[in-house]
Amino acid sequence: MALEELLESTLNNMGYELVEIERLAHNKLIRIFVDKAGGITIDDCVVISNHLSHLFAVENIDYGRLEVSSPGLDRPLRKETDFSRFIGETIKLKLHVPIQGQKNFTGILREVNNGIIKLEIDGKMLDLELSNLGKARLVPKL
C-alpha cells in the first residue's frame, strides 16, 4: 500500500482528513497536514504523531522525522470535496492553462458540480474546470 493510501485510510478511521503530504529525501522528513471539522489542535497533532509513529514501525516505513500539522489559514484545496466544504469562502487559484489570458484568480467560491467550480469575481461568475487547477488555497480571514 502506498504511503498516501495508508495515511488516508488511517487518518479517516481516526476522524481526520489528510490534506497534504511532503517528503524530503535528504533528511527523511515526512510532513503531514491534517484537518477536521472545527480545526486541528496541538493535542490532535500529538495523538496523530504517536499513532503514526507506531504504524510506521509496523509497516516498516523508513523515515527520520515525522511532522504533523494543521494546513493553516491558507489551506490548500485539492479534491472536489475540499471545494464543496468551503463554498462561500474567498479562494485564490492558479490555472494550468490560462482563460482569457489569465492564470491567477481570486474570488468567492459559489458552487462545485461535476468537476466544475463557479467562482464569483467582481459580481461576475466564472466556470473553471478542476482538472485545470494548478493550485488553490483559501484566502485567510483576518
What pTM did the predictor assign? 0.80
DSSP of the chain: --HHHHHHHHHHHHT-EEEEEEEEGGGTEEEEEEE-TT---HHHHHHHHHHHHHHHHHTT---SEEEEE---TT-B--SHHHHHHTTTSEEEEEEEEEETTEEEEEEEEEEEETTEEEEEETTEEEEEEGGGEEEEEEPPP-
pLDDT in tens, the chain (142 residues): 688 999 999 999 999 999 999 998 887 999 999 999 889 999 999 999 999 999 999 999 989 999 999 999 999 998 898 999 999 999 999 999 999 899 999 999 999 999 999 999 999 999 999 999 999 999 998 8
Alpha carbons 122 and 131: distance in angstroms, whole number: 24
Which residue intervals of the chain bear CATH 2.30.30.100? 80-138
Cell of 126: 466564472
Does the domain formed by 3-69 have CATH 2.40.30? no
pLDDT at 141: 86
Which residue intervals of the chain bear CATH 3.30.300? 3-69
Cell of 64: 527520520
Q: 80-138, what's its fold?
A: SH3 type barrels. (2.30.30)
